[in-house]
Amino acid sequence: MRPSGRDFNALRQVSIETGFSRHAEGSALIRMGNTEVLCTASVEGRVPPFMRGQGEGWVTAEYGMLPRATHTRGDREAARGKQSGRTQEIQRLIGRSLRAVVDRKAMGEITVTLDCDVLNADGGTRCASITGAYVAMVMAFRKLRTNNVIKSMPMIGQVAAVSCGIFQGNPVLDLDYAEDSGADADANFILTAAGGIVEIQATAEKYTFDEASFNALLGLARKGTMELFAAQKAALG
Amino acid sequence: MRPSGRDFNALRQVSIETGFSRHAEGSALIRMGNTEVLCTASVEGRVPPFMRGQGEGWVTAEYGMLPRATHTRGDREAARGKQSGRTQEIQRLIGRSLRAVVDRKAMGEITVTLDCDVLNADGGTRCASITGAYVAMVMAFRKLRTNNVIKSMPMIGQVAAVSCGIFQGNPVLDLDYAEDSGADADANFILTAAGGIVEIQATAEKYTFDEASFNALLGLARKGTMELFAAQKAALG
Amino acid sequence: MRPSGRDFNALRQVSIETGFSRHAEGSALIRMGNTEVLCTASVEGRVPPFMRGQGEGWVTAEYGMLPRATHTRGDREAARGKQSGRTQEIQRLIGRSLRAVVDRKAMGEITVTLDCDVLNADGGTRCASITGAYVAMVMAFRKLRTNNVIKSMPMIGQVAAVSCGIFQGNPVLDLDYAEDSGADADANFILTAAGGIVEIQATAEKYTFDEASFNALLGLARKGTMELFAAQKAALG
Amino acid sequence: MRPSGRDFNALRQVSIETGFSRHAEGSALIRMGNTEVLCTASVEGRVPPFMRGQGEGWVTAEYGMLPRATHTRGDREAARGKQSGRTQEIQRLIGRSLRAVVDRKAMGEITVTLDCDVLNADGGTRCASITGAYVAMVMAFRKLRTNNVIKSMPMIGQVAAVSCGIFQGNPVLDLDYAEDSGADADANFILTAAGGIVEIQATAEKYTFDEASFNALLGLARKGTMELFAAQKAALG
Amino acid sequence: MRPSGRDFNALRQVSIETGFSRHAEGSALIRMGNTEVLCTASVEGRVPPFMRGQGEGWVTAEYGMLPRATHTRGDREAARGKQSGRTQEIQRLIGRSLRAVVDRKAMGEITVTLDCDVLNADGGTRCASITGAYVAMVMAFRKLRTNNVIKSMPMIGQVAAVSCGIFQGNPVLDLDYAEDSGADADANFILTAAGGIVEIQATAEKYTFDEASFNALLGLARKGTMELFAAQKAALG
Amino acid sequence: MRPSGRDFNALRQVSIETGFSRHAEGSALIRMGNTEVLCTASVEGRVPPFMRGQGEGWVTAEYGMLPRATHTRGDREAARGKQSGRTQEIQRLIGRSLRAVVDRKAMGEITVTLDCDVLNADGGTRCASITGAYVAMVMAFRKLRTNNVIKSMPMIGQVAAVSCGIFQGNPVLDLDYAEDSGADADANFILTAAGGIVEIQATAEKYTFDEASFNALLGLARKGTMELFAAQKAALG
């Protein structure tokens, strides 16, 4: 029995609301159960110095968590003066995941920065960030396309992410905090609608696991991301 | 004529929604027109080292702005590695303003931290933060009272804040960004429902101003905060 | 009775000595009683990147306190690796105050940096910094005028600052440390010789205050700054 | 054809030399081809504050690269004042991997810190670090056992790591820099001698990949780590 | 001919004024020509953690330069967020030099911090700092002795410092900035009144030098410090 | 009797191995007894901003110590976020010492960065760094000469360094850690093969010392560096 009473292969309730941010070129407020992440896509008409003159665009991401998104208040990273290793790891993952579905040559020399800020946390924030950031990014590219800044949509795939894990010996889909904090193992799957693997991060927490378990998790992730792809499409109209 | 078409003494539409944060002891999402600030109050059962053993509580505040709360994306302070002078100035102001309406002896040795995070910015974020933080703080104290952590409510006043300014020669209430960025002068008034002045910060932007103008601004602030006190009461039920 | 025995409307003894710094384009060592601040004005033949090409100059300020300017030694900010919120707040105030009396177009694209370093502290250091920095800045502009770097003096006003407060229920002028640390409320007034208000920062410390009290403080500040304007003129010869 | 001429399933030449560090409780200099990493295990008789009083030990890792371990000199992280996101990600991975094979209760309240410093880099440094750190850690535990600091060896598994990737369409084992920088996809496998999965990180670089490819990589990793387990055992005598 | 017209073996005019700082336990404003350094000695009733419980005191130093102490304005280290290597080197030297003349057991577990802040710089600031800090430290110990915090004066020597150099081929005493910036070689000598060497730092700037030159510099330093010892004694009354 | 049993004027066993680093333009792994330092010379085809356009090259150095090069593990400076004062002092010394034997005009506008990383520490690491860095630098210049990047070798001298000290009252050559930590005084001598003094840093540790002792130390340093010059020549072939 899962703490939430969900079936082993059930996602939490998902909603994706576009346009929450009044200024960003694209934005999506994604909710997966009690996890809520505000994803914005900001466009800048140039690329970082190390990429100039190559005729390609850049997609990057930053991640943050409001201090009281969590059960007990966490330090504000801006006040502490540095981002944690966890934060950096997550924002690097988001950036890689989104770059995997963009033709950067088709972007031209512009930068899209995806800011994913967790307003409420209940597990799975990095996966929700990727799923929401995809929507925000598409919104931003549409705006650029409408304004003729780009000639065609540079998307070459649709990406979403979900975490799965082994909880009390059973593979389950879309861990919430109660499950995540006590899982035997967990894994984040970043997959494309075309069936490709963008990234897999699987980690033994309490016990090492075998290939059969791993394959069960991957199977759940396939199912879960199918539903997320549908939610993204619905949000994008 | 104001850019928004508002009367010179009209506040923007105000709403205060409690309970947005799922984990915080108290929270308020305040909207003043297009400015939206999420205020949370977090309670910790001890005080900072410099206050230990004095039998008094502490109230402090932190302020942040999501990178894309603004027209153009701002640097993430956590990534830059330090909070700007503006951020520090604002969070110090919020902390002082809230401490002014609390009997810290009645708190006992606990700390309330008010986090004010701007989700969308359209001028007046520090004033909205103070007005919203008051609601979040009262919610937190109510919860502590219910749980018998404190014996009585330690509130000794009700505080709210509003900015006024001289725009194209005329005193106006509750500047939005379009006015704020072109004002001759502006002023933040932090006032109590009992009529007391907690803090005034009045600054010449384009031109110095005289006492008559200053008094006109103070009069507008009295009117504006009366409406904010009512909105706070309504939110607190 | 004030701790110092001064009348409620009496400034401390003021002296302003120019030329203490051997290298700066302008400098003033200001003493207000036991508070001593060394103010230097340094000229650089360019403006910060965000202002280039606009044909305007820039005036900025930095503030510091020697570790043992105070009763007990404070941390050296350079050693701690960052400036406190208080320091940043003060240096931002000094910069705004001085910019209010300069025609930046008349400066051309140069930067004047005002460094205000407190050698001995006995209350009122930010106000003394502003009053002294005015003198240092005028000295620097005179030197630039003499050397034909600028065609005319870009000063459009004379600025000085003084703190007032409510001490044991009574409004008093020019708080020293003994008063400041126990005041009911205090306020910093930055005024021009022409009668304009540049900035007001009024803060309830122990108790909120009403408009009548506020007006009494403003009246004292008018009197005090009149004397400071005279002292500035005398120092400038 | 691989740039190095190796078979698709061939490791580079591996050597593990113990005792290079004169002071560390355990140390291993691991070479995988031209990649060389010095791994030391340092023991401290206490645990970090968040773990005190629980009767368990702690294993943590730090990773660094000498500035000129690479083709072009990289910034020294100590001089830049912070560790990169990549560095933090790697050292967190090393720590997790080693903790997976230790019974922390059996350690008692001591901390083992694994420092992995890359002297020469030619791809695969994080995997070499894990494989070498295992040897250094066992050496340290043996010393503690000999000195009766611990009553039994707290090892509950043997861990090693290897990277695999898809290079020019073909799955290959143990990527060197020439392959790594041009791979279609790469994956790091951290496995135990008992056949368990500790961690998998698989990333599409140029193209997304499918499950068949992923399984091919996992098969190669099984073969590679078998050889690494043998090399570890030989080094440990 | 020296730029200043001084004889090769002539110090600049030296003055040491005690009591400039109103709060410090001891203070000395030392002037060597146009170099002016404010030295304060602050006493704290405990020692740093690494020294606790050993019954010995600690003497340490911090050094700073006001931004416009120099010909062109330097960055404020507090604003830049770190002390330069030069600053750290100097403050370590000052601390070592003063510790060399103190019996730390006789101090008991107290800390004396020597702050040396350069108000005007014209070469030789580290040597002036040491010479002035000695006076400030003795003043502080006298005060502690008067208050019976210590039972006897813990001084075991008198220390002063002077720089010498080879300027246009000739050994000269007490380099000012004009000489220092063009010297062939320079050396700082920290000597005791009893004839002991505390520290020598000799550096070839343009050319390496031989032992004969070095000995000539040491001879000059002997003469110069004799005069400084007399100035210290005069200042201490 | 020295702890190592060496004669008072005996160096530890010295070896210098070139080519340890696979990528650096020049490298030397120097061992002096149990002290081992990896020195690399990296060439970059430009100079720092402050030197551009002057037609001269630049030589600079960075120094580091692996966390477990020492008896007890030291903090990793990259993790702590700053280099210690000791580190900065040492790397500034190495840079000055190497620049003293290079004709920077003959280099052209290139930068040589010398990285000295201590793998094992047993005293004398800064001196070993200088002696080894000389070899690495010559290797790099030879490579540049071979590739016709420079027209002639820019070396104008040969430099080596050794520490001497007064141990239990007796002057001894080449202090190891056991001696260094208990020495009465120690001194680092950086000398050239032509007999010139590049830098001397002599410090009283327990007791001040006199000229006769100092001269004895210098004599030992002459002898020791003669042997080091021979070892450098042998390593350079």
Q: Which residues, including other chains, have CB under 8 Å from residue F34's CB and lie 6 or more apart?
A: D22, F12, F120, F122, F176
D93-128 CB burial, b ≥16 within 10 A, e <16: bbbbbbbbbbebebbbbbbbbbbbbbbbbbbbbbbb
Looking at chain A, which residue has its C-alpha nearest residue B119?
A21
- DSSP-derived letter for residue C76 is P
Taking contacts as CB-CB distances below 8 angstroms, the residues of chain D near F66 are: 38, 40, 64, 115, 117
Q: For residue D147, what are the CA distances in angstroms to D104, D133, F46?
A: 18, 21, 55
Residue A90 DSSP class: H
Q: Which residues of D are annotated as a binding site for phosphate?
A: 86, 124-126
Q: Which of D88, D157, D201 sits opposite A85 (nearest CB)?
A: D88
CA–CA dist D132, D30 (Å, integer)? 6
Cβ–Cβ gap F79/D62 under 8 Å: yes
pLDDT in tens, chain A (237 residues): 899 999 999 999 999 999 999 999 999 999 999 999 999 999 999 999 999 999 999 999 999 999 999 999 999 999 999 999 999 999 999 999 999 999 999 999 999 999 999 999 999 999 999 999 999 999 999 999 999 999 999 999 999 999 999 999 999 999 999 999 999 999 999 999 999 999 999 999 999 999 999 999 999 999 999 999 999 999 999
Mean of the per-residue pLDDT values of chain C: 97
* Contact in structure between D222 and D191 (CB atoms under 8 Å): yes
The answer as to whether F28 is a domain residue is yes
Chain C residue nearest residue B191, CA to CA: C208
Q: Kindly provide the b/e burial profile for residues A174-184, where b requires at least 16 CB atoms within 10 angstroms of the residue's own CB.
A: bbbbebbeebb
pLDDT (0 to 100) of residue C23? 97
pLDDT tens digits, C80-107: 999 999 999 999 999 999 999 999 999 9
Rounded to 5°, the CA angle D191-D193-D198 comes to: 25
Tell me which chain B residue has its CA closest to the CA of residue C92: B85
Q: Chain C partners of B207 at a C-beta cutoff of 8 Å?
A: 196
Is B68's CB within 8 Å of A44's CB?
no
Residues with Cβ < 8 Å from F22, sequence gap 6 or more? D34, D120, D122
Contacts of E21 in chain C (CB under 8 A): 66, 68-69, 119-120
Distance from CA of B58 to the nearest CA of C (A): 15
Among candidates A195, A202, A210 on the partner chain, residue whose Cβ is nearest the Cβ of D200: A202
A34: which 2 tokens? 């009690």
For F196, which of E187, E201, E208 is closest by C-beta distance? E208
Q: Which residues contact D142 (CB under 8 A, 6 or more apart)?
A: D26, D153
Lowest mean pLDDT among C117-121, D129-133, F1-5: F1-5
Instruction: Report pLDDT for F23.
Output: 97
| pLDDT bracket for residue B219 (50, 70, 90) | very high
Question: For residue range B75-120, what is the model confidence (pLDDT) as tens digits?
Answer: 999 999 999 999 999 999 999 999 999 999 999 999 999 999 999 9
* pLDDT bucket at F1, cuts 50 / 70 / 90: confident
C126 is in an annotated binding site: yes
Residue D104, C-beta contacts closer than 8 angstroms, at least 6 positions apart = D56, D57, D58, D59, D154
Mean pLDDT over C226-237 rounds to 98
Alpha-carbon distance of B99 to B51, in angstroms, equals 14
Q: The tokens of C139 are what?
A: 């000295």
Distances (CA, A) of E212 to C16, C58, E218: 51, 54, 10
Determine whether the interchain pair D157/A208 forms a contact, defined as Cβ–Cβ distance below 8 Å.
yes
* Nearest CB partner across the interface for A85, out of D92, D187, D192: D92
Interface of A with D (CB under 8 A): 82, 85-86, 88-89, 91-92, 96, 100, 157, 187, 192, 194-204, 207-211, 214, 218
Residue D1 lies in a domain: no
Which are the contacts of F147, defined by CB distance < 8 A and separation ≥ 6?
none
Question: Of all helices (H) and strands (E), which one includes residue D114?
Answer: strand D111-120
Cβ contact, residue pair B196, C202, below 8 Å: no
Closest-approach residue (CA) in chain B for C83 = B85
Residues A209/A186, Cβ–Cβ less than 8 Å:
no
**Residue whose structure tokens are 């207000």:** C32
DSSP track, chain E:
--TT---TT-PPPEEEEE--SSSSSEEEEEEETTEEEEEEEEEESS--GGGTTSS--EEEEEEEE-GGGSSSPPPPHHHHTS--HHHHHHHHHHHHHHHTTB-HHHH-S-EEEEEEEEEE-SS-HHHHHHHHHHHHHHHHHHHHHHTTSSSS--B---EEEEEEEEETTEEEES--HHHHTT-SEEEEEEEETTS-EEEEEEEESSS-B-HHHHHHHHHHHHHHHHHHHHHHHHHH-
CA–CA min distance C86, chain B (Å): 8
The Cα of C48 is separated from the nearest Cα of chain B by a number of Å equal to 17
| E3 occurs within a structural domain | no
- Residues of chain D in contact with residue F120, where contact means CB-CB under 8 angstroms, are 21-23
pLDDT at A200: 98
Look at residues A79, A86, A43, A44 and name the one whose alpha carbon lies nearest to residue A63: A86
> Is A7 inside any structural domain?
no
> CB of B11 within 8 A of CB of B173?
yes
Mean local confidence (pLDDT), E31-41: 98
Neighbours of chain A (3+ CB pairs under 8 A): B, D
Per-residue pLDDT at A1: 85
> Residue B117 pairs with which residues in a beta bridge?
B38, B64
The answer to whether the annotation marks E76 as part of a ligand binding site is no
- Split into its structural domains, chain A has a count of 1
- Whole-structure pTM value: 0.94
| Residues in chain E within 8 Å Cβ distance of C64 | 66, 76, 78
F142 pLDDT above the threshold of 90: yes
The verdict on a CB contact (< 8 Å) between E115 and C73 is: yes
User: What pLDDT shows up at residue F56?
Assistant: 96
Q: How many residues does chain C have?
A: 237
Yes or no, beta carbons of F119 and D78 under 8 Å apart: no
Of B91, B198, B207, Cβ closest to residue C208: B198
Of E82, E199, E208, the CB nearest to F82: E82
Structure tokens at A69: 């998104």
Q: Which residues of B touch C201 (CB under 8 A)?
A: 199-201
Question: How far apart are the C-alpha atoms of B141 and B156, rounded to whole Å?
Answer: 12
Which residue in chain D is spatially nearest to A159 when comparing CA positions?
Answer: D208
Task: Encode pLDDT of F41-97 as tens digits.
Answer: 999 999 999 999 999 999 999 999 999 999 999 999 999 999 999 999 999 999 999
pLDDT of residue E234: 98
Mean pLDDT of chain E: 97
Section F102-125 average pLDDT: 97
How far is it, in rounded angstroms, from Cα A114 to Cα E107?
59
Instruction: Compute chain F's Rg from CA coordinates.
Output: 18
Partner-chain residue, chosen from F92, F195, F211, that has the shortest CB–CB distance to E89: F92
- Residue C1 included in any domain: no
* Helix-, strand-, coil-residue percentages of chain F, each rounded to 5: 35, 30, 35
Contact state of E23 with C117 under an 8 Å Cβ cutoff: no
Interface with chain F: mutation pick from E91, E98, E156, E208, highest number of F CBs within 10 Å:
E208
| Beta-carbon contacts of residue E174 (< 8 Å; ≥ 6 apart) | E6, E10, E11, E12, E32, E124, E162, E163, E164, E224
Give the C-alpha separation, D32 to D124, whole Å. 8
* Cβ-Cβ contacts under 8 Å, D198 against chain A: 203-204, 208
Q: Is B168 part of any domain?
A: yes
Closest by alpha carbon to B59, among B21, B18, B8, B100? B100
Neighbours of C169 (CB within 10 A): 8
Beta bridge partners of F61: F114
Instruction: Answer whether E96 sits within 8 Å of F203, measured CB to CB.
Output: yes
The partner residue sitting opposite F73, judged by closest CB among D22, D69, D113, is D113
pLDDT digits (tens, 9 = 90+) for B35-59: 999 999 999 999 999 999 999 999 9
Write the DSSP assignment of B111-156 as a string of letters: EEEEEEEEEE-SS-HHHHHHHHHHHHHHHHHHHHHHTTSSSS--B-
CATH number of the domain encompassing residue E222: 3.30.230.70
Q: What pLDDT is attached to residue D79?
A: 95
For residue A22, what is the nearest residue in chain B, using CA coordinates?
B120
What is the per-residue pLDDT across A128-186, written as a single tens digit (0 to 9) for each?
999 999 999 999 999 999 999 999 999 999 999 999 999 999 999 999 999 999 999 99
| pLDDT band, residue E90 (cuts 50/70/90) | very high
Chain C residues in contact with chain E using a Cβ-Cβ cutoff of 8 Å = 20-24, 27, 34, 38, 40, 42, 44, 62, 64, 66-73, 76-79, 81-83, 87, 113, 115, 117, 119-122
Residue of E nearest to F98 (CA): E204
- B102 backbone dihedrals φ, ψ, rounded to 5°: -125, 140
* Pair C224, C164: CB distance under 8 Å: yes
pLDDT (average), residues C114-132: 98
Indicate the annotated binding residues of F for phosphate.
Answer: 86, 124-126
Give the nearest chain A residue to B74 (CA atoms): A42
Distance of alpha carbon D108 from alpha carbon D121, whole angstroms: 36
Identify the three-state secondary structure at position F66: coil
pLDDT band at E1 (very low <50, low <70, confident <90, very high): confident
What is the residue-averaged pLDDT of chain B?
Answer: 97
Q: Is residue A4 in a domain?
A: no
Low-confidence stretches of chain D (pLDDT beneath 70) = none
Give the distance from residue E185's alpha carbon to the nearest chain F alpha carbon, in angstroms.
Answer: 9
Compare CB distances from E68 to C40, C71, C72 and report the shortest one's residue: C40
What's the pLDDT score for residue E134? 98
Domain ranges, residue C137: 14-236
Domain for residue B1, yes or no?
Answer: no
> Would you state the pLDDT for residue E42?
98
Neighboring chain B residues of C195 at a CB cutoff of 8 Å? 210
State whether C85 and B96 contact (CB < 8 Å).
Answer: no
- The CA distance from E98 to the nearest CA of chain C, in Å, is 19
- What's phi and psi for D174, nearest 5 deg? 65, 75
Predicted confidence at residue D226, as pLDDT, reads 98
Q: What is the largest CA-CA distance in chain F?
A: 56
